[in-house]
Structure 1
């Protein structure tokens, strides 16, 4: 199965790891995972600082290599909310509760263009110790670490 997933992945936290792990799990042993990584320009709208694309890409590649997934995968620059998901031939997209509206919009645009819809797989966001979502914003604010532990 050919699976797409996208994000800024900065810092790479347990929620991102769940998203990535689910993508590889869905793709299966003979599948392919395409990871859209926001470019520096596209990520510049975030409310917190973002590390350069090359550093974020390196962190992703290190994480994936450490998991020993034995399937094809590729990280491509994501210049907008959709990347290549409108035109590409793929089977499924993996999103979080927070980003499901983007996947729904991708299918709407694909349908308008005469392309087949793709399956949407939503993962639950990972909760921090305080039962709120782990997010990059909360990490940058110093509220939690990448595993959701409360920082004092």
Structure 2
């Protein structure tokens, strides 16, 4: 079984880790699309590490936690190889679910079979809101969802 998953993965947080664990639970044949520098910084107002830095951190975490050498590829658009190669499953978060639906629409229009979409729910922070890279960078929470700034009462 061939599985696709993608993202910027920075900072690498518990939500990302759950997504990656799910992908590798399904199969050890996982293609990880990691956003290029241009794509990662294009519409973001927060700083993003370089592709090489993000790739190294992602590679080291997967080798340590999953025990495999990951297949990481640079992507310059939200689709990567999913529009041209056969995948059995694509693992997405609620944030990227609409992109997976669009991928399948494009695949169908090109005569390809759709990819089975596996939705992994958000990992919630201590306050019940989703862990997100933006919240981490803002200093609201850490990568595990622990509150760093208490809400004002």
TM > 0.5 fold call = yes
Q: Report what 1:97 is aligned to.
A: 94
TM-score by length of 1: 0.94
**Could you say which residue in structure 1 is the equivalent of 2:15?**
15
Residue 136 of structure 1, aligned match among 133, 147, 150? 133
For residues 91-127 of structure 1, what are the alpha-carbon distances to aligned partners after superposition, in whole Å with 9 as ceiling and x for unaligned? 1100001110000000000000000111000001100
Structure 1 stretches of 4+ moved >3 Å: none
Asked whether the equivalents of residues 62 and 70 of structure 2 are also in contact (C-alpha less than 8 Å), the reply is no
Distance 1:69 1:123 in 2: 21
**Counterparts in 2 of 1:61-100, with a 5 A limit?**
61-70=59-68, 73-100=70-97
Deviates more, 1:72-81 or 1:10-19: 72-81
Indicate the RMSD between aligned Cα atoms, in angstroms.
1.1
Aligned partner of 2:38 among 29, 36, 41:
41
Identify unmatched segments of 5+ residues in structure 1.
Answer: none
Over residues 31-86 of structure 1, what are the superposed CA-to-partner deviations in whole Å (9 max), with x where a residue is unaligned? 4000000000001122311000001000110111112435x630000101111110
TM-score between both structures, scaled by the size of structure 2: 0.93
The range that moved more, 126-135 or 42-51, is 42-51
SS for the counterpart of 2:105 is: helix
